[in-house]
Amino acid sequence: MHERRRFFFLNRASHGWFRRNTMSSYSQRMVHLLDQRSSRRDLPGAIVPVGIYWGRAPNREGSVFRLLLSENWAVTSRLKRLVNLFLSRRDIVAHLGPPLPLAELASAEGNGDGLRTLRRAARLLRVRLRNQRVATMGPDLSHQRTVARQILRSRSVRAVIEAEGDAAERARLEKRARQYAREIASNLSYPTIRILEKLLRWLWNRIYQGVTFHGRERLTTVAEDHTLIYVPSHRSHLDYLLLSYLLYQQGLMIPHIAAGDNLDLPLLGSVLRRGGAFFMRRSFRDNPLYAAVFSEYLYQVYRRGHSVEFFPEGGRTRTGRLLPARLGLLKMTLEHHQRGIPRPLALIPVYLGYEKLVEAGSYLDELKGAEKRRESLGDVFRSLRLIRQNFGVVDVKIGQPLVLQDWLQESGEKSSAAESADPGSNADALGREIMTRINAAAALNPVNLVALITLSTPKVAIEENTLLLQIRCYVDLLRRNAAHHDYALPDQSAEDMVARVESLGMLKRESEPYGDVLSHEPFTALLMTWYRNNIVHVLALPSLIACLVRDRRRPARLESLQRMTLTVFPYIADELQTPESADAVERWLGHLVDGGLLTRDADGGYTAPPVHVPEHYQLRLLARLVMPTLERLYIVISLLYQAGQGVHTRQSLQEHSHQVARKMSRLHGLNAPEFFDVRLFNRFVDALIRNDVVNEAAADRLVWAPIVEEVLRAAEHIIDPDFRFAVRQEP
């Protein structure tokens, strides 16, 4: 078939420049193409839906200028398109959707008449173009002013109001509910978004040497037929600005962002609200009306197909490692899914990695014990001095999307009926899965790779050649395992990575007769723990294997290593939220042997290399990556065992473990401010109870299983003797 032009318009103007484009008639090229298909069943080719958007504004009632300037959901005339060609020439987005094969139309219609085929093709194209439009612009917001009325009419909100018997009290609650809705709701404004886009582009160019976005293709596969929920890691106040900016640059809709009400400051709060933020109180457990209004607002946003962004950690991490997921918004999301959403929900994990953190100074103060400061408008103006600094490169990486319906079906098959029906149980499992997927999308940079090595040395100082060898060692190990992970690895040489960290002022060089020594200033050394904790999970399993092998006099058998790893690694994985599973021991042993870090004898036993070769020291540095986690686990297990059965409660064990960790950190000079973080000990105790290693008996007293003794015996080969002795001296 030969065509003079290979495109046609689905919407066509009847006649004249002022007539709107409609579907009142079909393009003759489309009719001709489908007639050709009817006569030739083997006709190759496909119809590709193409959407072109001239200024991406949701359809809002407002000024005439905005109606002229912006793309919207209303059917428009040729004249408006011509005007937009000039007014929106710098904000044009073109999307090519998935092709519609002609053979698919033929097989679907069979021997149907041509008109039926024509109508079906037009219907499929309209659906695909509409999905493109939603993914690009967001849903039609023409009736956004009715959202508050819908919230007040919802069953959940009415139930709270009608529970009051007094009419005056009901009227007061209804007025308060309306105030809550205004307090919460975003007010997305396209002019504000355009201004912010220009300001942020200027800001990123001033403070960053690059912003890298990985994984756009993962978004495009789900954006057109799912409602997206972005669940990023929360490391900085710039996280949500960066993500929204990048999504806008990629031609995707701006998400509605759940923000804490501490950011609803004068002036700043209004700007954020117009940029898509909706505000929530930190806690509203004791306010059922607010909880009902907020939940209903979130449901309305989901129901209308708008993308949403919230931080599952709840707040920014001060230690650099991911915090456990907070379950409030996840529970609401599960409830709204059960209630029914037109488009299926897909959660999009996002990893944000910084070479140099803007809030580094305040984080360091908090790590040293200072109280967290409440945000104020003055902080915004004080931050303007940041534009004179260099904060390196930022990596933003999209993780593997989680389609909620599919995940619930898979998890339901693995759980009992009672667990599957429990929203709390589902939310907890969903939270762990999300955090694991965020860490699975880690993007490694020179700063956190260097921190991973230098902080494993006793004096936080290392010879340059040794540092270069260890960088190559870690990158080589991860590349050998590339088929089993999704990490983004730096493409620079080891020398360039070291030079990069030096240029950021985070590595100090001292020239000595025997070679250059690299180290950190005391302030920087503490801060580097934050960057190390971003990625320590990527080598957690080989680090544990190195711990089990490095000091053994006899070769370690595969079966023995697998048994010990299966016993200990689940607790490491729980703390670090690593995607690696304990059944990968044999694979990692192979990588370590290939990299020269382990040797394997004729009988299949594994041993450390001889002490005099560089690989032996490389293995020891690798082993130290998970040592702080193992030491915390040892403190908990040892205190539990020493006290005896039925002595400690959950609370007393957590408090005693925290006190001992503080002492050990001081006496042993552990260069990790989070070593005695009480939340980590709480998490260990919870994991021990969840895995039935420890159980709560009468009066909430803890009794432990025999495996506790086995873990303590295994620790004799791993934990430093001085450390073990100091812990055992505790009463």
Per-residue buried b or exposed e for 249-288, using 16+ beta carbons within 10 Å of the residue's own CB: eebbbbbbbbbeeebbbeebbeebbbbbbbbbbeebeeee
Span 127-141, mean pLDDT?
64
pLDDT for 716 beyond 90:
no
Q: What is the pLDDT of residue 437?
A: 97
Give the integer Cα–Cα distance in Å for 276 and 123: 32
691 pLDDT band, cuts 50/70/90, is confident
pTM over 0.85: no
Reading the block at residue 214, the tokens are 């990985």
Max CA-CA distance within the chain? 92
Span 72-91, mean pLDDT?
55
Residue among 142, 106, 137, 140 nearest 121 (CA): 106
Span 526-538, mean pLDDT?
93
pLDDT for 617 beyond 90:
yes
Each residue's pLDDT tens digit, 52-65: 766 555 444 344 34
Q: What is the pLDDT of residue 72?
A: 46
pLDDT higher at 688 or 110: 688
Question: Locate tokens 């540095």: which residue?
Answer: 621
Give the integer Cα–Cα distance in Å for 492 and 137: 37
Residue 544: DSSP 8-state = H
pLDDT for 91 beyond 60:
yes
3-state helix vs strand vs coil in the chain, percent to 5: 55, 10, 30
- The one-letter code for the residue type at 250 is Q
